[in-house]
A = this chain, B = another copy of it.
């Protein structure tokens, strides 16, 4: 079985495994108050060009989103997100569980637009409704598209105009960076907070939350602890980002994932199939006839997005730092065989 199921099917990049083994018995202070975490935070601050950033490394993405938004918002304040946004759909109401409404807005190719932000604010004019306060976006988006720096700048402008915070979920930041759409410093200059995803890009686990807006920094560690997100062995998180942020490893792994995806995309297109979205990143959403699906599914694994009219199925293929070129070739060969001719 060859997996294009997701980008979290494997453990960690060998350099990280090696670092974990090497430091296993060295003894470290707990709760991220250790030297590996210090170095990781320093490397991240350098990489994003913000020596003033507060950096906290958490275990997972839903945990990071819900802890951050819970810390940043007062009880009546709401989140604006694309209706396809991870916080709106796939976190089992985690944001609502901390008391905050998610205002789901129509997306354009998975992206929240300045117009949608404006519309959300206009629809909530007074205290009989929630107060929109934070704009949530993901880069890459949930459908594999990206925000360019120019698009982030437009969102920043509308947030400034309307008194909103801008938060970016970077679970797949490495893949976004590899498309060239933006850079870490450009992103860090435009958002109030964002996280650099490790789980899907070489780390065993770990997401580095960067808080740029000084008003959002106080007492974050209290809320991190309260919500169960403060890892006792916090140096495990620090160590992993220490490795990822050195020698360009983080960016390199993202480029690999995207290269594998581009080969898939090109090969599928050349065989005449279409896509549900035009994704430049490590998630591809091809559409195949059901007969093709049936022949491929014994050897390959993926997630199904939905059944389409005309006996077709919309699927998601995901590549990662761990995807082997041979896996891509095998898929394309099998697809070619199905496609006949």
Contact digits for A219-234, partner B, Cβ 8 Å, 1 yes 0 no: 1011111111111110
**Are the CB atoms of A128 and B228 closer together than 8 Å?**
no
**Are the CB atoms of A24 and B10 closer together than 8 Å?**
yes
In the complex, A201 has a CB within 8 A of chain B: no
Measured between alpha carbons, how far is A273 from B322 in the docked complex, in Å? 56
Among B10, B21, B99, point to the contact of A99 (Cβ < 8 A). Answer: B99
Instruction: Determine how many copies of this chain the complex contains.
Output: 4
8 contacts between A and B (CB under 8 A): A9-B28, A9-B233, A10-B26, A75-B98, A76-B219, A92-B130, A96-B96, A96-B130
Please give the distance in Å from A124's CB to the nearest CB on chain B. 9
Closest 9 CB pairs of A and B: A63-B228, A76-B222, A11-B24, A92-B226, A93-B130, A93-B101, A92-B225, A127-B221, A96-B101
Chain A interfacial residues counted at CB < 8 A: 74
- Dominant secondary structure at the A interface: loop
Please give the distance in Å from A208's CB to the nearest CB on chain B. 16
**Are the CB atoms of A230 and B93 closer together than 8 Å?**
no
Please give the distance in Å from A86's CB to the nearest CB on chain B. 10
In the complex, A170 has a CB within 8 A of chain B: no
Chain A contacts with B in 85-114, Cβ cutoff 8 A: 89-94, 96-102
